[in-house]
Amino acid sequence: MHGESLINRSTCSVNVHNDNMQINDSYEADDNDQSTNPNDNLNELLHDLETNIDEDEQRKLHDLFYDAEKPLYPGCEKFSKLNDVLKLFNLKSNYGWSDKSFTDLLVVLHDMLPDGNELPISTYQAKKLMCPMGLKVERIHACPNDCMLYRKEFEREHKCFICGASRYKRKKETDEVDDDVTKNGPHAKMLWYFPIIPRLKRLFSNENEAKLLRWHKDGRINDGKIRHVADSPQWRNIDHKYPEFGDEIRNIRFGLSSDGINPFGNMSSRNSTWPVLLCNYNLPPWLCMKRKYIMMTLLIQGPKQPGNDIDVYDAYKKENFILRAMIFCTISDFPAYGNLSGYSTKGHRRFLPAGHSYRKKKDEFDGNTEHRTMRKRFDAFSRVENLNIVLGKRTRSKNESIWKKRSIMWDLPYWKHLDVRHCLDVMHIEKNVCDSLLGLLLNIPGKTKDGINVRKDMVDMGIRKELGPVETVNRIYLPPACYTLSKEEKIKFCKCLHDIKVPSNYSANIKRLVSMQDCKLFGIKSHDCHVLMTHMIPIAVRGILPEKIRHTITKLCLFFNMIHSKVIDPESLDTWQKEVILTLCELEMYFPPSFFDVMVHLITHIIGEIKSCGPVFIRYMYPFERYMGFLKGYVRNRNKPEGSIVEGYASEEIVTSSDAFRLLRRLLGQRKPALKRAAVRISAAAAPAVNSWTAAAVK
């Protein structure tokens, strides 16, 4: 949000210090030019670059071009050495082959090909061949208590200046840290940092993707409906507040997501790895959450954001500009949900209009009339402005304020002007509400919100006393409530779900999740709950519940169906907000108070977020959870899981890069244009911003 003004300038020079090694990408085909010798073009290209890059980078770039033109074996015209390795490595990345299996495959293929072939015979050689096409990965040591990072002015420190913890692990023969690094053990904690700047340059260096990054302005439909976050007031407010940012349509708005993953896939393991992911909201809604456009910037815990001003070349507009980026919102599950789910809210009647009949009712609710009004939104920045940022582990007291520290995000100049900074995780809200609803209706042990203690609490509250437990000689009897299903009704409910048939790939096979013997649903995932809430439960409850209960549950399901729409009419949101408040109040009249935990309460705030930030589907946790599953699949060395993830991610980044294949097509003659005498520009994607594979590999 700060820096130089927007500029257009000639791009014939190469700025090494800005990591902006770019040359004009204006290859133009000349049908009348018969000069099709790729070696002539290559020599001219290398001659232009010879004086602008250092000797080591020039050598690596020359080797890359040489391998791109070198036939796979003598007489081969279809494949080159580099092209073949990229195709094989793409298969390795897509199907999760281990390094050992890939090495064995290379050995077999090498023996099958004619003598003198250039195919590498090991995974290491293949990675070394692709090394110049990779992007930089930084390793930064961190304090084991998360107090500091050993970077910049603290790079040579050996102890944390906050908690005094050692930077290194202790060696068995000594208990002290020596100034001589070679005498210490390995680092205590590591951060892997994937710089954002070269990855953004790679996006803009591709003409098609550079055009997609302008979609929110050039291709978006402006008819007043909500389809994208660019249709939201928060987007427009930033453009109005910071016109120098909003006037440049190529400036990036990111969504940030972070969550802990278990790299071993074992839920009982204590190992937890934290990737930090970014999604690009400049892209169309059908692309911004795709795996290809999600960037992992940090692994474990990272430093502050890099500089916001980035000098980037736009291959679509053929000009340089100052790129700036901002975090539009954060998307993550709320870690405290697990703790707060045991706390009941104090009702939803305060959200009703003044004078509503439900405000005067007592016995149907909590035994009291409701005189409170809806709480107004407060300024969060005023609550945390004077709080200090406390780093590292700390002890917590039971009576401390909910405002524990000021987030580092408040240092961003635009953060206090955002209406919604941390978006609700609708995926987990929907799943928890679905689990609670199914557990209550089917009386699933361990998941039901009804029980003897709940009935006793209702008697103590003076509400629905007729549902209080009845003690007999041999047992305690719980009278059936309006939501209680008989055995026949449970069978009918489960059979309906069991017999539903849906199109292929629409959802999981619900039939496998239904147990007809004990009338339970088991093993349901988040997306299964989404399908159940939006489509199947309203069908299954027909004819098995009293009409008032059935209609209320159906209205709740229709609400979840509406918020997941791809196109939303903003004029209907106020009506839906009133309707969902009324629905929750009606549920309070029928369901026990224990049903209304914080997850149910958060439903009241979903409409407000849609008004401020746009559709729910573009702020899902689904793509991030799926992406983290891919990251777990990279773990080959259980001793160093983070290193395995970094290596797998860096490999995939190379083989899936459209710039890499675009460069290969040109060098291999699939498109052999004549190079005009204009200065040639190679983007950072193909320039020798070399990824150190030795740094990313697992030793």
168-197 burial code (b ≥16 CB/10 A, e <16)? beeeeeeeebeeeeeebeebbbbbbbbebb
Q: pLDDT digit string (tens) for 318-347?
A: 555 566 788 888 887 765 443 333 444 556
Q: Which residues contact 41 (CB under 8 A, 6 or more apart)?
A: 672, 675
Q: How does residue 226 score in pLDDT terms, banded at 50, 70 and 90?
A: very high
Which residue in 647, 651, 629 sits closest to 637, CA to CA? 647
Whole-number pLDDT of residue 55: 64
Cα-to-chain-centroid distance, residue 71: 41
Whole-number pLDDT of residue 567: 94
Q: pLDDT digit string (tens) for 423-432?
A: 888 999 999 9
Whole-number pLDDT of residue 69: 82
CA distance 695 to 646: 10
Whole-number pLDDT of residue 477: 87
CA distance 144 to 160: 9
**Cβ atoms < 10 Å from Cβ of 533:** 24
- Please state which of the ranges 257-266, 277-286, 680-689 shows the lowest mean pLDDT: 680-689
Q: pLDDT digit string (tens) for 512-563?
A: 999 999 899 988 999 999 999 999 999 999 889 999 999 999 999 999 999 9
Which residue in 259, 321, 330, 254 sits closest to 293, CA to CA? 254
CA distance 36 to 26: 17
Q: pLDDT digit string (tens) for 485-502?
A: 999 999 999 999 999 988
Of 70-74, 258-262, 265-269, which one has max mean pLDDT? 70-74
Whole-number pLDDT of residue 180: 54
pLDDT score of 160 more than 80: yes
Whole-number pLDDT of residue 176: 56
Angle at 125 between CA 120 and CA 130, to 5 degrees: 100
Give first-to-last CA distance, the chain, whole Å.
40
Cα-to-chain-centroid distance, residue 461: 44
pLDDT score of 511 more than 70: yes
Q: Which residue did the predictor score with more confidence, 572 or 312?
A: 572
Q: pLDDT digit string (tens) for 194-211?
A: 888 888 888 887 788 888
Of 180-194, 262-276, 567-581, which one has max mean pLDDT? 567-581
- Provide φ and ψ at 27, rounded to 5°: -70, 130
The alpha helices in 123-262, defined as continuous H runs, are: 123-130, 196-205, 207-212, 215-218, 233-241, 243-246
Dihedral of CA atoms 89, 92, 94, 95 in degrees, nearest 10, equals 170
Q: How does residue 112 score in pLDDT terms, banded at 50, 70 and 90?
A: very high
For residues 569-581, average pLDDT: 93
Q: pLDDT digit string (tens) for 116-148?
A: 899 999 988 888 887 777 777 888 888 887 778
- CB distance 486 to 506 below 8 Å: no
